[in-house]
């Protein structure tokens, strides 16, 4: 299914307004009212979604030998300044604490924009030998960046409240290289579980993380066709261990500085689950992160006798859902019509709705309504235990497939700058061109296509063989991806 079915038009053409609407309507996140720009409030329902996303991230990292830690929020200026490229990269984004009470501090303290400096400083005390390596730490904390580009709920925050930062230490360059590759596999698993599609690119030299040897990034295409960087992994070489003097004894007894990587995810993971899978009725949540996986909406009975029978029947449904271990809600509010209930739970993206009225109680059947495809089926109540778990799997798979076909429809290979510019102008998405690999041509392409460079594939793409760089005419050694970015 290329492009979008008609009924999801609003979702793609007024994405930003839709996104703000769904965050509020579904009770996910309250943004724009808190009196600090770029900072919002996780509301109860949204907090439950975030909690399950964080649980997934923790499970994947813990199973891969990562150790969760917790570092101080405040980083003294003396530490932050130790790695020159890093501080240059973050200079304009750091929030500073300058006073303790009424007293000015002799050393001003940064609210961490990320934690390489505080973590590497402590590693200089902890890590002395290759025998202790590799070490894989991570923390899930708030970080603070005084973003100057337009802030947006969950997408570009000044307090990034769900920042998972992993920091690893290795005995040599190659093992850090291997760790970046592992980080990429772990991120693929996390995004695949959430059905989020991605393009993986090596960022160009002129747009890598401040202090990195190289950066690999996961980008997705949002409903409005702009790309969002949803995860990054960096090889940090010895750029932090040298200034922080993290020396290790090698097997031959010689001393060398350790090698590092770092890799991060943020609130953007929640943003993309909502944005990518959503439709005009609101959020559509994969069952794995849905706070409520099934909502039961009784269809009111007319007379007293039927009402009693229906109540018993709803009780039986509830008992079965409880035994199944499903996260469910029985919406038996009697001052709200079923139609309104459908609207509310659809906006919240509840994956499955069960409707049951007097007829269903009579025939011992249930109406199952899928949130993703909106289709309804009637089953016998005795089929619930067998069909519900499979329905969850179907929903997760169909959301993932629909998202990937969307992404594939938004990535286009072109041979000329004119084509690239036209595609970006008319369709947005990602354009991919043959490239000689030079920074000069890369920057010229940003100018001429009027889009940002995402970078190049990790493996040399076959299709550029025999093609020329559209800027300088030299043989293309790889491809370059451009897009309008968030």
Ligand X SMILES: Nc1ncnc2c1ncn2[C@@H]1O[C@H](COS(=O)(=O)NC(=O)[C@@H](N)CS)[C@@H](O)[C@H]1O
Contact footprint for ligand X (CB under 6 A): 114, 116, 145, 147, 156-157, 160, 165, 209, 229-232, 234, 262-264, 266-268
Smaller CB separation from ligand X, 234 or 402: 234
Minimum CB separation from ligand X for residue 177, in Å?
Answer: 16
For the CA atoms of the chain, what is the radius of gyration?
A: 26
Smaller CB separation from ligand X, 267 or 372: 267
Smaller CB separation from ligand X, 120 or 456: 120
Contacts of 105 (CB under 8 A, 6+ apart): 97, 98, 99
Tell me 481's DSSP state: E
Minimum CB separation from ligand X for residue 485, in Å?
Answer: 11
For residue 325, CA distances in Å to 48, 56, 242, 322, 381 come to 17, 18, 52, 5, 16
Minimum CB separation from ligand X for residue 269, in Å?
Answer: 8
Minimum CB separation from ligand X for residue 156, in Å?
Answer: 5
Give dist(CA 262, CA 169) in Å, integer. 9
Smaller CB separation from ligand X, 266 or 293: 266
For the residues of 422-460, what is the DSSP string, one character each?
Answer: HHHHHH-SEEEEEE---HHHHHHHHHHHTSEEEEB-SS-
Give dist(CA 424, CA 104) in Å, integer. 51
Minimum CB separation from ligand X for residue 232, in Å?
Answer: 4
Q: Locate tokens 């102008």: which residue?
A: 425
Half-sphere exposure of 73 (CA within 13 A, CB side): 13
Smaller CB separation from ligand X, 160 or 190: 160
Minimum CB separation from ligand X for residue 186, in Å?
Answer: 13
H or E segment to which residue 137 belongs: strand 135-144
- Closest-by-Cβ residue to ligand X is 264
Smaller CB separation from ligand X, 268 or 400: 268
Give dist(CA 11, CA 28) in Å, integer. 17
Smaller CB separation from ligand X, 264 or 298: 264
Minimum CB separation from ligand X for residue 97, in Å?
Answer: 19
The angle formed by the CA atoms of residues 339, 345 and 351, to the nearest 5 degrees, is: 120
Minimum CB separation from ligand X for residue 270, in Å?
Answer: 10
Give dist(CA 120, CA 80) in Å, integer. 11
User: Tokens at residue 380, please?
Assistant: 């016998």
Residues in the chain: 486
Minimum CB separation from ligand X for residue 61, in Å?
Answer: 12
Minimum CB separation from ligand X for residue 301, in Å?
Answer: 49
Give dist(CA 19, CA 315) in Å, integer. 36
Smaller CB separation from ligand X, 268 or 341: 268
Minimum CB separation from ligand X for residue 152, in Å?
Answer: 8
Smaller CB separation from ligand X, 187 or 406: 187
Name the region of 233 (left: φ>0; alpha: ψ -120 to 50; beta: rest). Answer: beta
Smaller CB separation from ligand X, 40 or 264: 264
Minimum CB separation from ligand X for residue 19, in Å?
Answer: 14
Smaller CB separation from ligand X, 165 or 346: 165
Give dist(CA 105, CA 118) in Å, integer. 19
Smaller CB separation from ligand X, 263 or 392: 263
């Amino acid at each position: 299914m290329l492009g979008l079915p008609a009924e999801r038009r609003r979702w793609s053409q007024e994405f930003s307004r839709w996104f703000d609407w769904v965050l509020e309507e579904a009770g996910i996140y309250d943004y724009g009212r808190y009196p600090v720009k770029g900072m919002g409030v996780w509301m109860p329902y949204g907090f439950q979604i975030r909690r399950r996303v964080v649980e997934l991230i923790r499970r994947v990292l813990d199973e891969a030998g990562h150790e969760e830690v917790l570092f101080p929020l405040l980083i003294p200026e003396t530490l932050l300044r130790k790695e020159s490229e890093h501080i240059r990269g973050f200079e304009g984004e750091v929030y500073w604490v300058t006073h303790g009470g009424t007293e000015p501090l002799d050393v001003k303290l940064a609210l961490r924009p990320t934690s390489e400096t505080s973590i590497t400083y402590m590693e200089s005390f902890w890590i002395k030998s290759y025998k202790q390596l590799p070490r894989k730490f991570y923390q899930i904390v708030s970080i603070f960046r005084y973003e100057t580009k337009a802030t947006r709920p969950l997408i570009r925050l000044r307090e990034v409240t769900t920042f998972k930062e992993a920091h690893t230490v290795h005995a040599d360059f190659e093992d850090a290289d291997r760790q970046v590759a592992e980080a990429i596999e772990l991120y693929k698993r996390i995004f695949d579980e959430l059905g989020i599609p991605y393009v993986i690119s090596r960022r160009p030299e002129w747009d890598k993380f401040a202090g990195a040897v190289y950066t690999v990034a996961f980008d997705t295409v949002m409903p409005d066709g702009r790309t969002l960087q949803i995860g990054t992994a960096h090889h940090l070489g010895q750029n932090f261990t040298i200034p922080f003097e993290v020396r290790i004894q090698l097997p031959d007894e010689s001393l060398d500085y350790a090698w590092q990587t770092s890799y991060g995810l943020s609130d953007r993971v929640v943003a993309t689950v909502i944005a990518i899978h959503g439709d005009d009725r609101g959020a559509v949540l994969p069952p794995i992160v849905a706070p409520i996986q099934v909502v039961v909406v009784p269809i009111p009975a007319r007379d007293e006798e039927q009402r009693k029978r229906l109540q018993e029947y709803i009780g039986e449904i509830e008992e079965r859902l409880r035994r199944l271990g499903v996260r469910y809600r029985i919406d038996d509010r009697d001052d709200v019509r079923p139609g309104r209930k459908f609207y509310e739970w659809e906006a919240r993206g509840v994956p499955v709705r069960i409707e049951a009225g007097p007829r269903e109680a009579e025939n011992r059947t249930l109406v199952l309504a899928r949130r993703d495809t909106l289709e309804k089926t009637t089953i016998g109540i005795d089929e619930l235990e067998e069909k519900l778990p499979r329905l969850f799997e179907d929903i997760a798979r169909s959301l993932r497939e629909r998202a990937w076909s969307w992404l594939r429809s938004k990535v286009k290979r072109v041979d000329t700058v004119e084509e690239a510019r036209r595609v970006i102008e008319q369709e947005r998405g990602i354009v991919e061109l043959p490239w000689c690999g030079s920074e000069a041509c890369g920057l010229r392409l940003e100018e001429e296509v009027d889009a940002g460079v995402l970078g190049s594939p990790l493996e040399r793409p076959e299709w550029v063989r025999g093609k020329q760089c559209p800027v300088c005419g030299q043989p293309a050694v790889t491809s370059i991806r451009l897009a309008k970015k968030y």
